[in-house]
């Protein structure tokens, strides 16, 4: 772990306290002694610095943060004069959306719409600048006292023109099981529509208190979104209008080509619900019919078991007729 403590000095920053720790880095609140500005400092653990792929991921997060400048995106400050590797970010007062949901379970509709539209605006900005977040979830959304938002943690974000990181956990499935898009489950890199899917999941969760797909483990959750339809939001919260429910379904389309193509389109529908046409969706009728991958898995194992038998039969035939 990173050995910094309150009162320590890191270049021209005074460490005030630890904010969070993860498997790869620690985040500290600090004061820039040149101007008194409060900042957040992300310091990678030594083992992360020693891993070339993890180190590149950290540097990419920093580069992406430095090029983005939007009130809904946490700013990363450039500073070449440093004694070690770390990232300096703006200090944001507020709480994570996850904390808010933990306290209230579900949010009022008007507040949910306000937060979702603000997130859509930030997403539209980063997408137009060639960046896909790829790990959008309540843990990566900061909410201030006025319901202003900040997107944080671009650790697995994709940037136009950047090469793909190619070690197991990042290249196969990037994202979090509850919020990952179907195309990412299938191992595809995803684009802006993957972020829109994740925002659709969060919209569902803010309105109902539940995520749309469930399972006993991460793989079961991801399988569920490939095979089944969620409980219609109005079944869980009758205050949701048919139009708002339709918007959720459009964001959660399994095929990205049927999803909102931009975050701006998503926000426009949320701002003009009276103009949203409601489709007669099969998802509203067959959601109780649950499909499982067990039959497919059983057939696979049967086929594997038959291979030696078939091979033995072929060899026996050749031996007898050779």
Neighbours of 294 (CB within 10 A): 8
Do residues 87 and 61 touch, judged by C-beta distance below 8 A?
yes
Q: Pick the catalytic residue: 135, 195, 224, 269?
A: 135
135 is catalytic: yes
Residues acting as catalytic residues: 135
């Amino acid at each position: 772990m990173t050995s910094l403590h309150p009162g320590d000095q890191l270049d021209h920053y005074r460490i005030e306290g630890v904010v969070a720790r993860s498997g790869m880095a620690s985040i500290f609140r600090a004061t820039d002694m040149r101007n008194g500005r409060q900042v957040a400092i992300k310091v990678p653990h030594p083992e992360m610095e020693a891993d070339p792929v993890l180190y590149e991921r950290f540097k990419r997060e920093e580069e992406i943060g430095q090029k983005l400048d939007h009130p809904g995106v946490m700013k990363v400050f450039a500073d070449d004069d440093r004694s070690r590797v770390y990232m300096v970010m703006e200090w944001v007062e507020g709480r994570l959306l996850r904390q808010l949901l933990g306290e209230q379970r579900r949010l009022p509709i008007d507040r949910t719409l306000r937060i979702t539209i603000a997130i859509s605006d930030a997403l539209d900005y980063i997408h137009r600048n060639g960046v896909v977040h790829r790990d959008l979830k309540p843990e990566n959304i900061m909410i201030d006292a006025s319901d202003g938002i900040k997107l944080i943690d671009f650790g697995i974000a994709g940037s136009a023109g950047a090469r793909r990181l190619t070690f197991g956990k990042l290249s196969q499935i990037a994202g979090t099981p509850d919020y990952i898009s179907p195309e990412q489950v299938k191992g595809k890199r995803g684009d802006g529509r993957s972020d829109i899917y994740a925002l659709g999941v969060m919209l569902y969760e803010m309105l109902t208190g539940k995520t749309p797909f469930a399972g006993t483990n991460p793989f079961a959750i991801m399988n569920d979104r490939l095979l089944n339809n969620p409980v219609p939001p109005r079944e869980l919260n009758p205050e949701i209008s048919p139009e708002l429910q339709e918007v959720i379904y459009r964001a959660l389309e399994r095929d990205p080509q049927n999803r909102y193509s931009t975050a701006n389109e998503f926000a426009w529908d949320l701002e003009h619900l009276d103009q949203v046409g409601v489709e007669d969706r099969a998802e509203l009728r067959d959601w109780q019919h649950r499909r499982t991958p067990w039959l497919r898995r059983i057939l696979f194992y049967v086929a594997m078991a038959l291979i030696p038998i078939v091979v033995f039969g072929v060899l026996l035939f050749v031996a007898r007729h050779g």
